[in-house]
Structure 1
Amino acid sequence: MSKALTVMDLRALKGVRQISFVQVAREEEAIAASEAGMDMIGTAFIPERAHFARAVPQTHFQFGLPWGKHAEATEALRDAMAAMNAGAQSIYCGMSPAIVEVLAREGVPVICHVGLVPPKATWTGGFKAVGKSAEQALHLLQEVKDFENAGGFAVEMEVIPARVAAEISKRTSMLTISLGSGGDCDAQYLFSADLLGENRGHFPRHAKAYRNFAGERDRLQAERVAAYREYISEVNVGTFPEASHVVEIDETALQDFLKQAERA
């Protein structure tokens, strides 16, 4: 069994090889990703997922602090430490460098976030690429530098022009994690729901579906309906239950029961 990559191991891979990273929502996804050899697995640090890290001890696990839950650094630090105690080796925090600094000062390895940050997308014009102008690109570089100075060890770069992301990656000691920001970052990151083809409707341009779980779920749903209809039909005509589905009683015991039942 392979050992989970530590933060030191991951940092040593910068410029050496690409790191694979997936965001999961179910324990079985985490287990499958680990069995497949994924370098990093992440999920939100919420009560129903707090046990995920323990299920995949051989893979680097990252818990994400839900954006908007914490009003200040002490709250974020408390949750970050709880997440580390639950088995995480790193923490995602989408808050400011000031908050990241507090976490990093206590030894919490923090993954920061720049570019299209969904809860803050109104500041960058909505759900679209960030960094397509020289001014925006320079602002991104400064944000990355601010997070680096705050002590973050990695930064998620979401939907940034690939050449901008490549240049920023050269100019920071942090690991750069690409979500739609090209192949020259240090890690590639996808959501399991996209990777497995679970979603219907809009599909992110930066994502790739390697399976069609939505179609498989449609097929399984149709099979459920068909099975229920067959069951109802057999109940209605009396062909269920069959002899193999019931428990018999010895004839002598049955007759004894009937005699005593008559006197009851």
Structure 2
Amino acid sequence: MRSPALVTLLATLATLVGETYGGGGHSHGNEGYHEHEHEDVDCTANFCKTQLSDDLWKRWHIHVPSDYDPNDDMCAKCEISVQLIYNGYTWLGYGVSPNGGMVGSTVVIGRPSEEQPTIYELQGKMKLLVRPINGFNLENASVKYNEGKAQTIMEFTTPFNTFGVTEEDDEYRVGMSLKNPTYFIYAHGNEGNLELDYHGNNKGSRTFENLINPDAALADDNDASASKMKMSQTKSTKNAWKAHGILAFLAWGVIAPMAISAAVLRDLDWNRLPFKEFLGKFWLRIHAGLNC
């Protein structure tokens, strides 16, 4: 049996180890993986990434054509490569909205049970108003479940005009823009559900004032593989605090009171003489043992 002080020390060390190796930085445990603050981001040169929710990350890269005019804020010929990484098994959706809401948006939805994602127009919130769109292509499109990492990963590359290109004289048009605000929306199903159904609270929106040097993004100079993107920070930190709490409870909630009780109870008038004799003879050893 360890002393309360030693158990507390072990609890503190467990927490520190969890913080250092499980959640103390952006990329601990991912060899060859580097991040930089968003001030240094150029999403035309690097894959950028941002966390959308506790279990969902987005990585993207902007492809600008060689004949791009710097004065063209819209860049209809630009392309975006997107990768969504979700910690779990379900369908994923990501797209562009006119105002951050669902209705009127154009989204890409993928299910691990299908070979590749599909483009949809969200004409309303009812399932029958979520309609596939023909005439637009998704390149390098896939949606897969990585059993080893327990992650659903959706990838695609598509031109800006798949989602519509923002026009200066039409503020309500859905669209993407290099240097003007773009409203992205995302959603996913409940864990284990592959049917397109109401997502509940598993949704959100993110506005980027521009897509080349966006705020709230990190540069990711890794390739498009998700194999090095591990979302272990939250779980590791939680486990460390659980270990800390358990060990601290054992130290001060069990061991310390037992040591004190051994010293106090020896002087009480016990009716059970055998127990009194045992405690009177060995209380010091018990007390010392629990404290050493």
Q: TM-score range by the shorter chain?
A: under 0.3
TM-score, length-normalised on structure 2? 0.25
- Name which structure has the greater RCO, CA cutoff 8 Å, separation 6+: 2
* Structure with more of its chain in strand, by fraction: 2
**Rg larger in structure:** 2
